[in-house]
Amino acid sequence: MIEVKDVTKVYRMGEMDVHALRGVSLRVEKGEFLSIMGASGSGKSTLMNVLGCLDSPTSGSYLLNGRDVSQLSDRQLARIRGRELGFVFQQFNLLPRTTALRQVELPLVYAGVMPGERRRRAREALETVGLSERVGHRPDELSGGQQQRVAIARALVNQPSIILADEPTGNLDSKSGEEILRIFQQLNAQGITVVFVTHDPDIAAVSRRIVRLRDGLIEKDEMLQ
């Protein structure tokens, strides 16, 4: 499903080149649950951006479901992000005055789905994360854990094959964090590939594989289960 080979990423910072990735090679099979770990500056967020087609590598190749993403136009990349990838972030990224139902509908609006079908799929996604009774609530009427559930439902609504989650429990208390992790485990059990980026070993422990980065290189790749 994901095949990264000898990927580098170099950022120009004034007069200096910053080598965020120095030759990363990685395969992720369909249905895997993977955590990418590393200290600040290890390259884990850069790798997540490359995997999510939010950034392009300086060199090397990235095949997503057999397609070389470096050969795709910006429009084609946007299409892949909208249809094949679901994103969940630490900050939730919800619109402040918008109901949960409308938040989850938005990706379907951009995809041109008709209103009736949008509402049906958005309600179904919210039901999947246990928020069927909160469809009319705005973010300020929801707890942190509930806001993250809305964000997960929004990531799910286009039925992606891969979910990329960047520190998805970072802003939550321990109980809410455990509930969110259980949702990801349930989604993975349904066949969705899940990739976490995290610095927390307790979070990574729920996955089945951990890839550790250091100084832009894979230091260790281990199976847990």
Q: What pTM does this model have?
A: 0.91
* Beta bridge partners of residue 37, listed in sequence order: 198, 212
pLDDT tens digits in sequence order for the chain, 225 residues long: 899 999 999 998 888 988 999 999 999 999 999 999 998 889 999 999 999 999 989 999 999 988 898 888 888 888 888 889 999 988 889 999 999 999 999 999 888 889 999 999 999 999 999 999 999 999 999 999 999 999 999 999 999 999 999 989 888 888 999 999 999 999 999 999 999 999 889 889 999 999 999 999 999 999 986
Q: How many CB atoms lie within 10 A of CB 142?
A: 18
Task: From 88, 125, 90, select the one nearest 104 (Cα to Cα).
Answer: 125
81's tokens: 């992000």
